[in-house]
Each structure stands twice: as C-alpha cells, then as structure tokens.
Amino acid sequence: MDANPARAQGQSPFRAVLVPHRSLPQAGFLLLMGALAVVSFAAGVVFWSMGAWPVTGFFGLDLLIIYIAFKLNYRSGRQFETVEVDPDEVVVTRVHPSGRREEFRFATLWVRVELSEETDGRTELRLRHHARQLRFARFLNDDERRDFAEALAQALAAARNPVFG
C-alpha cells in the first residue's frame, strides 16, 4: 500500500521543470556564424587589398569573441530547476550548468509562495518557510513567473487538501 494519499487515489503530485529560454537554436547559430565568417572574410580581403592588412586580424578576433559569447550563453542555458509538490513536502532541485545539484526541501503545510512585483513590472518569486526563503525561477521572464506562481499556489492548495475517495 502506498503511504502517499495523492498517489493512492491515482493523482500524481505536481512536478514542473523550469528551463531558460534560448531563442536561437543550434542550426540558427551555425547559420549566423557562417554568415558572419563570410562577411568578415570579405571585409578582410578588402582591407588587405587596400594595404591595411593588420585590420584583417581584428575581423577574426571579432568572430572569435562572438563565438565565445554564444557558447557561454548556451552553456548557461543548461541550467534548470525542478519543483515537486506532494502532501508532505515541496522539493526544489537546482541544477547548475556545471552539473552541480542543490536541493531545497520545505514542509507543504508551512511553505508560502511569494511573488513580489516592482513598480516597473519586474517580479521575483520566492518560497518562504518561516524565516527561511528561497529565490528561484530567476531565468524566467516576468509573465512566466506570474503564471508559475499561480500554478504553484494552486498545487500547494491541492496538496494541503487531498481528496479522499
């Protein structure tokens, strides 16, 4: 027999995986880098033919810097957070781009979802359990944070008031 009433009733606990948005897929990145390489090469040839050959090295350097910036951006996109809610506890697992994992546990009955909103519309999402608090979902945009805060509050309410059949 399963000790979790939600699972015993066939209900699955709430589970969400939060991932940062990356608007340029890998194929688009390759296309962009190819186009930049062609433009840099053509401009380099023009400057070389004018006798300003040292300038061509800077075109290659610019291309390298852009490549590194995109790779760092894609690396940061490997981070994610999972939020799991069941009648006993709320577990937030944060996985960093390096693969390092952090896990935060809160008692479902005592945790609160707090969404603070600045006057300019920026938001911040936190879980608060007595004096302890956790800021999370930082890589989501403000509208996504608002939507997720509402969904998480509903999941907490459902977990606190299980339906017995």
At 58-117, the pLDDT tens digits run 999 999 999 999 999 888 888 999 999 999 999 999 999 999 999 999 999 999 999 999
> Measured at the alpha carbon of residue 152, what is the angle toward residues 120 and 10, in degrees to the nearest 5?
165
Question: Per this entry, what is the length of the chain?
Answer: 165
For residue 137, pLDDT beyond 50: yes
Three-state SS for 42?
helix
Fold of 5-20+79-160: PH-domain like (2.30.29)
> Which residue blocks in the chain are alpha helix, DSSP H?
5-8, 26-49, 54-76, 142-160
What confidence score (pLDDT) does residue 3 get? 44
Q: Where do the structural domains in the chain lie, given as residue ranges?
A: 5-20+79-160, 26-76
Please give the helix or strand (H or E) that residue 18 lies within, else none: strand 14-18
